[in-house]
Structure 1
Amino acid sequence: MQVDQEENTKVRHRMWKELSKSPFVMIGLVGSHDHHEPMTAQLDPDADSEFWFYCNKDNRVAKGGEAMAQFASKGHDIFACIHGTLTEETRQEIFDKYWNNQVEAWFEGGKEDPNVMMLRFDLKDAEIWEGDQSLTGKFKMLTGQTIDAREAGKHAEVTL
């Protein structure tokens, strides 16, 4: 079921909130035949149009460009396919801002590792599915009845 602009905004904010709880996505470059890979997004809680990744300079997405990221929330009630652009983040203050012990564990040389880099994912658009079924929809699903689209959750196509 498509939703109006106000609902799109609510769904987008809910997706961002869920992504902050479980910041793991599958990401890959558009047009590449390389498989997408899991990465941990570094999020700014006050922004909803960009996030960052630390990776090795020889990582399959390190060259940047048009990319797609897929996300499923912990409770599997939000799913998203996010389209955007990966660009090397060169601002040292951003690199330092998100560096933490979990990130450091991936890089033998820590912050000074010559192979570490940061990518910024600038979101362009996303397709988001919110699987918050209505009580009637859940009952129908349990009893094998046909579920109407309005009872199955929300679907938003969002341009950022």
Structure 2
Amino acid sequence: MSKEKSAHDRLWDMIKDIRFGMLTHRHPEGGLHAHPLTTQNKELGPKGILYFFVSRKTELGQRLRADGNVGLSYGDPNKDVWVSISGTARISEDRDAIERLFNPMAKAWFPGGATDPDLELVEVHIDHAEYWDVKESKPTQLFKMAAAAVSGKKPQLGEHREVAV
């Protein structure tokens, strides 16, 4: 008998192979700004925290210290998977986490390794997530959308779910 995955595990399954997420934060003037960042997690632990490395030379750390309310977007158009996450970001000085998460790809940006003085670790504590997972093939999607246009009823495509973490 197979055990159905929790919403938490399902969320991780959808984003774990997406190389970049777009992290959106608010500028002091009120405008929104997004940055492509690589998720450093090897898993999504029970606390629902996503990790990213950023450069101290950028303004991102300063912005997150001033206002940690963020949005994260992940998308995989080949699989028709779309994820929107809202959470609270903070700069972490957790040396154990930095050592554990540091990897050869991060070394391209931070040649000094896990102790590179330019490296900052961003933790995003997930508050809420929403996802759309369209399982139908492209021809089936087109057929359903055409049928909906004719019938006036919204097409039922894939799975849409909200997750509180």
Question: Which residue of 2 is the match for residue 89 of structure 1?
Answer: 92
Aligned residue pairs total 152
Q: Is 2:26–2:33's contact at 8 Å kept on the other side of the alignment?
A: no
Cα offset, 1:55, TM superposition: 0.6
Which residue of 1 is the match for residue 164 of structure 2?
159
Deviations 1:110-138 (A, max 9, x none): 33322211111110001211112389953
Match of residue 132, structure 1, among 135, 138, 141 = 135
Unaligned stretches of 5+ residues in structure 2: none
Aligned to 1:105: 108
Structure 1 residue runs of 4 or more that deviate by more than 6 Å after TM superposition = none
Q: Does residue 26 of the first structure (1) align with residue 22 of the second (2)?
A: yes
Unaligned runs of 5+ in 1: 1-6
The residue correspondences of 1:18-97 to structure 2 (distance < 5 A) are: 18-30=14-26, 32-45=30-43, 47=45, 49-63=48-62, 64=64, 65-73=68-76, 75-97=78-100
Alpha-carbon contact 2:144-2:156 (below 8 Å) kept = no
Judge conservation of contact 1:81–1:127 (CA < 8 Å) in 2: yes
Q: 1:97 to 1:74 in 2, by over 3 A?
A: farther
Cα RMSD of the aligned pairs, angstroms, is: 2.9
Greater shift in the superposed pair: 65-74 or 117-126: 65-74
Report the equivalent of 1:17. 13
CA deviations 1:48-92 (Å, max 9, x no partner) are 611101111233331321110100136342101100011112211
Residues 122 and 135 (structure 1), Cα distance of their counterparts in 2 relative to 1, 3 Å cut: same
Question: TM-score w.r.t. structure 2 length?
Answer: 0.77
Distance 1:8 1:156 in 2: 14
Q: In the aligned structure 2, how far is the partner of 1:135 from the partner of 1:92?
A: 46
